A and B are shown apart, each in its own frame.
Chain A
Amino acid sequence: MFAYKGFAGKWLYVDLTTSKIEVCSSEPHIAEAYLGGSGFGTRLLWEKVSPQTDALSPENFLIFSAGPLCGTLLPNSSRIAVIAKSPLSGVYGDSNSGGFWGPELKLAGWDAVVVVGKSPKPVYLSIQDDHAVLCDASGLWGLTTSETERAIRSEQKDAKIKVAAIGPAGENLVRFAGIQFTPQRSAARVGMGAVMGSKRLKAVAVRGHGPVRVADAKRFHQLSVSFHQRLHQNPIYEAVTRYGTPGITSIMNALGRFPTRNFQLGSFPESERIDAEALERRAFVRHLACFNCPVGCDKLFRVPDGDMAGLALRSVEYENVNALGGGIWNGDLDQLLYLNRICDEMGMDVISAGRAISFAMELWENEILNLDDTGGIPIRWGDVAITARLLVMIAKREGFGALLGEGVKRAAEKIGRGAEEFAMHVKGVEIPGQDGRAQKSMGLAHATSSRGADHLKAFPTIDETNQPDDALRRYGEAYLPEMANPLETRYKPFLIKDGEDFCAVVDAVGVCKSGGTNVFTEFYWEDIAEAVEFATGMEMPVERLKEIGERICNLQRCYNVLHGITRTDDRLPRRFLLEANPSGNARGSTIDLEPMLDEYYDLRGWERVTGYPGKEILLKLGLEDAWQRLCVFRKASESMI
């Protein structure tokens, strides 16, 4: 029996090259230092996947990792983390999904599934409680994600099997291919689906019938009930429940924080045609929830009439509305839903795919691309028919789509002729639906995130709208008014450092950032510390939990440093620094990143010049091995100069 409850205490190691499956015991010292989820994955990647390893080679690890709170009674305990070296950024990568797959893995008795090697033929992994087998997936290869889910359920005659599947995009190694989890939730970002495709692993199907135990049932129950009550009483509960993440579309437009036309603008003039109210009016069917979630931000939508009549889908998020709406200058909601569906079925990240299209549209506008480059396809702003065609071409790696499937950074390098100016990425990862000029903390978050441009690694929500209540509750009077103001840079390096540490813990325990920690700004360090303590039985004072968050962030950073990441990679595209955002509250704003970066590095104990973690912080966190590897790396890179 494992020393700590909450954890299942064992994980699966699957070598696809040899078809060997091993049962490994979870280790208490890893749980104590990193918890589980992406914390466990970070440590394993650090130890096992060398900087020389190509992300799409058999030597890369693909780690599905649930945290100790995943599958428990705590509201929103649905998240599963997927960790691997990213084929999009070439550095540390992880992605995260809600739904029911993560809890099902825990109910089956596993903390994680670790996949290495490359299968000689397409396979899928089937886990039924204690039993795990590799099954032939030759007949599934080429199927879309929902077709794969249906086929596996029908083959195994169990409609309750939870499936993590790749679509054609993952099979074809599109660098931003994602993994689709039952029910239509995605671990979409940074190409985890391509890693899965490179291993010829079509799916992982899980069914579990067992329990998830906690250490202190009485107190854990009380805490879970109080989490419920606090969510219900939260001032934005009604709105989030009703509209889900698209609910912020209209306010983000007012703030100039709704990336439009590849970040030329910060608001979309036709946003009222695609915002949450429009979505509800046009296609709402019913509310849906992930495992154990009282918020239920997911909705089922169905287009009632017109060309897209009958088109039904769920998991339509704010990011989708942005990337496939304003991002590409599209105000047609039915078409937006159709494009969303293509991405889900093909299994690719809506954010990166949408940005690849808007990148191509801006190149077309600037006559950097012509018909010879695109194979005869004009790529004009807002052309949804062409977008639909290109998305399929990307997934199948056909023609010009093959180039876009490399991500905007690589595509721009190949196109040349100044295309780099329009490639809106950080560390090779396309920038999601925020604008650092309109929310300075988010700009810093995009620049420093360990997986490349990303909002969820620090997820600053308290300074989105200049409402002081959340900032006051979390940080106190002393930080106001600047802390709540999206256009202020003061205190924001602290906000991002604290946010990164906290989000690292949230991803390591397996709860949802939309379910109280970040959206709602309701649960914070002391709440998660109590939850971890009652669930696992580990003594967890807040300071210790903070140290775990800091340790995970520092180890991800060290891993990236070994891959050549320095301060110069913690950047934003030139557009953010020099071109003023012309929209909404952000009108006239650029972002002055460098002073924020200086302060951020100081707070982290990292060197200002290089952005490398310093000796003091690494030793404090017990990362002696990381410090030694950094020293060797530094010596080697200096001797090369």
Chain B
Amino acid sequence: MNFCSFHHESMVWQQKARLRIDSESDDGPFQVLICWQCEDAACAAACPVEAIILDQQTGAWVVQEDICVGCGECVTACPYGAMYLDETRGVSIKCDLCQGAPECALLCPTKAISLERVI
């Protein structure tokens, strides 16, 4: 979460992380809420202004912030809880795989997060 927000915002700002760690208790078990870059992306389908576009090179669905209207339809549509609204900028934010080299996967000490191409 911290490296994620730092990559995108140049500061630790957990509200702007594009992945979240969820758990019922402080002692775990922990679940990582992260974008799976779905083949049929529910977020992109739900977007009324077609602001979420597949980057062919990285395989990541990316929010075009100049097009996004901040309605939050994608947040509701995502089945993985991996779309978020950036309340200060008024746009939705999601994992863009750090342009192909996701820091979470590189730095996760337990390798609980890894990058794998499935297709």
Question: Do the two chains bind?
Answer: yes
- Interface, chain A (partner B; CB < 8 A): 71-73, 107, 182-184, 209-214, 217, 221, 224-225, 228, 232, 241, 286-289, 291-292, 294-296, 300, 312, 314
Report the separation of the CA atoms of residues A232 and B109 in the bound assembly, to the nearest whole angstrom: 8
CB distance from A228 to the nearest CB of B (A): 6
Interface residues on B, range: 10 to 19
Q: Tell me the bound Cα distance from A241 to B111 in angstroms.
A: 13
Known: A210-B13, A211-B9, A211-B11. A73 touches B27 (CB 8 A): no
A107 touches B14 (CB 8 A): yes
Could you give, for residues 106-119 of chain B, a 1 whenever the CB lies within 8 Å of some chain A CB and a 0 otherwise?
A: 01011000000000
- Whether A300 pairs with B27 at a CB distance below 8 angstroms is yes
User: When chains A and B are docked, how far (Å) is the Cα of A432 from the Cα of B23?
Assistant: 35
Evaluate contact between B107 and A182: CB separation under 8 angstroms. Answer: no
Check if B2 is an interface residue, CB within 8 A of chain A: yes
B11 in contact with A294 (CB, 8 Å): no
Q: Which residues of A contact B2 (CB under 8 A)?
A: 73, 291-292
A295:B109 contact, CB within 8 angstroms: yes
Contacts known (A300-B27, A312-B27); A71 close to B12, Cβ less than 8 A: yes
Separation in Å of the B104 CB from the closest CB of chain A? 12
Q: Which of B5, B9, B12, B26 has the most CB of A within 10 A?
A: B12
Q: Whole-angstrom distance between the alpha carbons of A221 and B7 in the complex? A: 9
Most buried by A among B11, B15, B26, B29: B26
Asked whether B27 lies within 8 Å of A288 as measured between CB atoms, the reply is yes
Known: A182-B26, A314-B27. A214 touches B107 (CB 8 A): no
List of A residues within 8 angstroms of B27 by Cβ: 183, 286, 288, 300, 312, 314
Docked CA distance A211–B14 (Å):
7
Residue of A whose beta carbon sits closest to that of B103 = A225
Within the complex, the shortest CB–CB distance from A361 to chain B, in Å, comes to 33
Contacts of A211 in B (CB 8 A): 5, 9, 11-13, 16
Given contacts A212-B12, A214-B11, A241-B109, contact A300 B28 (CB under 8 A): yes
Counting CB contacts under 8 A, is B57 at the interface?
A: no
Shortest distance between the CB of A301 and any CB in chain B (Å): 10
Q: Is the CB of A294 within 8 A of B3?
A: no
With contact pairs A221-B6, A232-B109, A241-B109 given, residues A212 and B11 touching in the complex (Cβ less than 8 Å) = yes
- In the complex, which of the residues A183, A212, A217, A287 contacts B26, with contact meaning CB atoms closer than 8 Å? A183
Q: Which residues of B contact A73 (CB under 8 A)?
A: 2-3, 6, 12
> Roughly how many angstroms separate A599 CA and B118 CA in the complex, as a whole number?
65
Please pick, from B16, B26, B107, the residue contacting A225 in the complex, using a CB distance under 8 A: B107
Interchain residue pairs with CB less than 8 A apart (9): A72-B12, A210-B15, A213-B11, A225-B107, A228-B107, A291-B2, A292-B12, A300-B27, A312-B27
B residues less than 8 Å from A232 (CB atoms): 109
Provided the pairs A287-B110, A296-B109 are in contact, do residues A217 and B28 lie with their beta carbons within 8 angstroms? no
Complex alpha-carbon distance, A187 and B28, angstroms? 22
Please give the distance in Å from A309's CB to the nearest CB on chain B. 17
Q: Which residue of A lies closest to B23 (CB)?
A: A159
- Tell me the complex Cα distance, A353–B12, Å: 38
Bound CA–CA A470/B29 (angstroms): 36
Residue of A nearest to B6 (CB): A73
- Bound form: Cα–Cα A289–B1 in Å: 14
B56 at the interface (CB under 8 A from A): no
Tell me the nearest residue of chain B to A72, going by C-beta: B12
A residues less than 8 Å from B12 (CB atoms):
71-73, 107, 211-212, 292
Q: Specify which of A73, A211, A294, A296 lies most central, judged by the most chain B CB atoms within 10 Å of its CB.
A: A211
Please give, as numbers and ranges, the residues of chain A lying within 8 Å of B107 by CB-CB distance.
Answer: 225, 228, 294
A212 to B5, CA, bound (A): 11
Residues of B within 8 A of A209 (CB): 14-15
Contact of A217 among B11, B14, B109, B110 (CB under 8 A): B11
| Among B10, B11, B29, contact of A286 (Cβ-Cβ < 8 Å) | B29
**CA–CA, A183 and B15, complex, Å:** 20
Chain B residues near A241: list those with CB within 8 A. Answer: 109
B26 → chain A closest CB, angstroms: 3
B10 cross-chain contacts in A, Cβ below 8 A: 214, 217
Shortest distance between the CB of A475 and any CB in chain B (Å):
29
Contacts of A221 in B (CB 8 A): 6
B1-40: CB near A (< 8 Å → 1, else 0) gives 0110110011111111000000000111100000000000
| Most chain A C-beta atoms within 10 Å of own C-beta, residue among B14, B28, B29 | B14
- Who on chain B is nearest to A302 by CB? B27
The 4 closest A-B pairs by CB, nearest first: A183-B26, A211-B13, A217-B10, A294-B109
The answer on a CB contact under 8 Å between A286 and B28 is yes
**CB-nearest residue of chain B to A241:** B109
A291 to B14 CA separation, bound complex (whole angstroms): 12
Nearest B-chain residue to A216, judged by Cβ: B10
Contacts of B109 in A (CB 8 A): 228, 232, 241, 289, 294-296
Residues of chain B within 8 A of A286, CB atoms compared: 27-29
Instruction: Name which residue of chain A comes closest to B109, CB basis.
Output: A294
Q: How far is the CA of A221 from the CA of B10 in the complex (A)?
A: 8
B110 surroundings in chain A (CB, below 8 A):
287, 296
B13 / chain A contacts, CB cutoff of 8 Å: 210-212
**Which chain B residues lie closer than 8 Å to A217 at the CB level?**
6, 10-11
Q: Which residue of B lies closest to A289 (CB)?
A: B109
Docked complex Cα distance between A288 and B2 (Å): 17
A300 to B23, CA, bound (A): 14
- A314 to B25 Cα, complex, angstroms: 13
Cα-based distance from A363 to B51 in the complex (angstroms)? 76
Closest to B16 in A: A211
* CB nearest neighbor in B for A149: B26
Q: With CB as the reference atom, state the residue of chain A lying closest to B10.
A: A217
CA of A605 to CA of B54, assembled, Å: 66
Contact A288 B6 (CB under 8 A): no
Task: Determine the distance from Cα of A217 to Cα of B109 in the docked complex, in whole angstroms.
Answer: 22
* Bound complex: CA A122 to CA B38 (Å): 53
CB distance from B114 to the nearest CB of A (A): 15
State in angstroms the CA–CA spacing of A72 and B13 once bound together.
9
Q: How far is the CB of A537 from chain B (nearest CB, A)?
A: 14
* Nearest A residue (CB) for B24: A159
**Minimum distance in angstroms from B59 CB to a CB of chain A:** 23
Residues from chain B with Cβ under 8 Å of A287 in the complex = 110
Contacts of B11 in A (CB 8 A): 211-214, 217
A212-B12, A213-B11, A296-B110 are known; give 17 further A-B pairs, CB within 8 A: A72-B12, A73-B2, A73-B6, A73-B12, A107-B14, A183-B27, A210-B13, A210-B15, A221-B6, A241-B109, A286-B29, A289-B109, A291-B2, A292-B2, A294-B107, A294-B109, A312-B27
C-alpha spacing A314/B27, complex, angstroms = 8
Please give, as numbers and ranges, the residues of chain B lying within 8 Å of A225 by CB-CB distance: 107
Shortest distance from the beta carbon of A180 to any chain B beta carbon, whole Å: 12
